[in-house]
Structure 1
Amino acid sequence: MAATIETPENNLNTDLGLSYLIKPAPITTGKQKALILLHGVGSNEQDLFSLAKYLPEDYTIISPRGPFVLGEGRFAWYQVDFSSGKPEINAKQEAQSRETIREFIVQVKEKYKLDEVYLGGFSQGAIMSYTIGLTQPGLITGVLAFSGRILQEIRPLVAEPASLKELRVLIAHGTQDGTLQVHYAREAKTYLEDLGIKPGYHEFNGGHQITGEVLTVVSEWLKL
């Protein structure tokens, strides 16, 4: 069996508030830009990091690990219960993760001298991305939400519309999603529009997943 060759890109970094993987931008075009990707519940930092090769080369890709351990190689930003038929969150854990992610972004921007940071995520990672973008709009340039929703619990904390006008948002959601149904994406679009944000919006024929079609949309959106 061939030995695994460790490279800087698959070594877990532990020097900041969250453990993370990083793939530096192979090329630069002036501004130093990064995309931070937040995994879904029960996953880990390797999941979305595997998409790095499909994303624009002038972006540094960073993928942190959620702080709550669910099992071997399984992490979360907060625990969630679906037993009632709708997702019920652990609000205390969500608030802790919100602050931890905020601090991590500040640390990343300083350490890697970044001019623009986009925050994206899948499912629970998308939920946290929405939350950070809407409550801390000056911290990031844009939000990418894959198969997520905007929590009712954070809406009282959302920043004033005037401070949100520069925030870019991209929503992608499968019409056959059985975990977080597509109505969550449609509700998010309407809510954002009411705040004065005009999100990029893409529904695709699929389930709770990120498809090649979505990656193409993301790549083009990031180049705008």
Structure 2
Amino acid sequence: MLSTLHAVVRPARGPAHGLVVLLHGVGSNERSLQALAHGLDPRLEVVLPRAPLAFGADAFGWFSVQFGAQGPVIEPAQAEASRLLLIDYVRALQAQHGVDAAHTLVAGFSQGGIMSASVALTAPQVARRFAILSGRILPEIAPYIPADIATRGVRGLILHGEQDSKLPFALATAAAARLQALGVEHALHGYPADHTLTAAMQADFNAWTTRALLSGH
């Protein structure tokens, strides 16, 4: 399964105490979040896979999306295929590195953040930590969220620019409200930024990741 997605890896220094899978946004590639990866604790194995759908030269995505007056409209079959692919991919990485769900974080920017929530909320037995960086939660995943998600130890982080012109900040507050309704522990932080990752966002993500994955190590 690991051969199904090309990936860049920032290996852990010594045995991995946790696994971070960083997912890029649409129209980007696996190298776009390398700076974020290199800022993470060296005890963590960090894997940056390339999304399976090609949308141009060196431009990939997890599903097609169109932006209109009513907001983003996705191709749900592609999003579902990518969700299932990522669940299997993360499982294979865990087997390779001897890491369990409680020490696995799936995170990403924009569409990558969307997919991270799709994985953790529907498969908490695979990943119990997720981070949405300038993304949202797809309503399409609702049928796949376990009824007992509130008791599964899932923790999430939402970081979003308050002036985001691509995915408005209201989507972040809606995601937080959804997690609240599900009983999923989470934190929401807004920043004076557009659709981008700022230095402050990266610093907060790094600190949260260390706490979420390495407490007790």
TM-score normalised by structure 1 residue count:
0.88
Give secondary structure in 2 for the equivalent of 1:46: coil
Tell me the amino acid that sits aligned with residue 40 of structure 2: L
Give secondary structure in 2 for the equivalent of 1:199: strand
Q: How far apart, CA to CA, are the structure 2 residues paired with 1:61 and 1:184?
A: 27
Q: How far apart, CA to CA, are the structure 1 residues paired with 2:106 and 2:2?
A: 20
Q: How far apart, CA to CA, are the structure 1 residues paired with 2:56 and 2:135?
A: 23
Whether 1:204 aligns to 2:195 is no
- Which residue matches 2:11? 24
Of 163, 166, 173, 2:160 maps to: 173
Q: How far apart, CA to CA, are the structure 1 residues paired with 2:81 and 2:187?
A: 29
Give secondary structure in 1 for the equivalent of 2:71: coil
TM-score normalised by structure 2 residue count:
0.91
1:137–1:164 contact (8 Å) kept in structure 2: no
- Which residue matches 1:111? 96
Whether 1:74 aligns to 2:59 is yes
Q: How far apart, CA to CA, are the structure 2 residues paired with 1:112 and 1:223?
A: 18
TM-superposed deviation, 1:83: 3.4
- Which residue matches 1:141? 128
Tell me the amino acid that sits aligned with residue 93 of structure 2: V
- Which residue matches 1:5? none
2:2–2:89 contact (8 Å) kept in structure 1: no
1:5-44 Cα offsets, whole Å, 9 max, x none, are xxxxxxxxx952211111111255xx62011000000000
1:134–1:164 contact (8 Å) kept in structure 2: no
Q: Give the 3 Å change call, closer, same or farther, for CA 189–163 of structure 1 in structure 2.
A: closer
Give secondary structure in 1 for the equivalent of 2:131: strand
Q: Give the 3 Å change call, closer, same or farther, for CA 196–169 of structure 1 in structure 2.
A: same
- Which residue matches 1:11? none
RMSD: 1.6
1:52-201 matches, within 5 Å, as 52-115=37-100, 116-162=103-149, 164-201=151-188
Identity level (%): 32
Q: How far apart, CA to CA, are the structure 2 residues paired with 1:94 and 1:164?
A: 26
The structure with higher relative contact order (CA 8 Å, sep 6+) is: 2
1:83-111 Cα offsets, whole Å, 9 max, x none, are 34411101111111111111100111112
- Which residue matches 1:48? 33
In structure 2, list runs of 5 or more residues that go unmatched. 212-217
Runs of 4+ in 1 over 6 A off after TM superposition: none
Give secondary structure in 2 for the equivalent of 1:45: coil
In structure 1, list runs of 5 or more residues that go unmatched. 1-13
Whether 1:37 aligns to 2:22 is yes
Return the index of the structure with the highest Cα Rg. 1
Tell me the amino acid that sits aligned with residue 216 of structure 1: A
TM-superposed deviation, 1:185: 0.5
